[in-house]
Chain A
């Protein structure tokens, strides 16, 4: 089964803030990554947290707490173009094995 759990869908209005949570059960994750995927497109890399704490990149921020096996992606000042699926993911070893959550569909309404 999935080692990373995230909500299946979140709906919000333009200009709002959305937080997508991700919890993981597997020990030894080498950090947590986030990806965006628009319908029919390839995933694009958003952010990577190797250490605990908050990483900010423009309107998007990502947080990791290893002690809680938990992270989140924060989308601020939502725009219509942010409507997409967002995936958390992580590497479980140093050799290349990589796992994704099932994805969160973010729907932005006017």
Chain B
């Protein structure tokens, strides 16, 4: 079954404690992206990757890092989380000009 898998689904952490949200896809897609979703703002792209070792900033990259060492994996790293990073996060993957598959989401709370 084609899917994008994110972990964890829910996470509560404290300010400043580094965390990583994992994302894996089994469709051999070149493109992968991370989004955050906040009420009234839709989904905003944090980072995207066009292929292994090729990443670029989206609209809201501050406070986040990513890596793409393997085609299937695209982890999102928060080196020093802050309360304004409390949000719902989605990973997505695609081959063409449109996002095709999304992970189930990670609800992050930073206290």
Contacts and interface: CB of A to CB of B under 8 A. Distances in A.
Contact of B97 (A42, A43, A48, A103): A48
Contacts of A91: 97-98
Contacts of B41: 102
Interface residues of A, number: 25
Given A42-B102, A45-B99, A87-B43, A97 B48 contact: yes
A33 B44 contact: no
A12 interface: no
B103 to A, nearest CB: 6
B33 interface: yes
Contacts of A50: 97
A87 B90 CA distance: 15
A101 B44 CA distance: 9
Contact of A96 (B33, B42, B44, B104): B33
B100 A96 contact: no
A49 B29 CA distance: 20
Nearest to A96: B48
Interface of B: 31, 33, 35, 40-45, 48-50, 56, 58-59, 90, 97-105
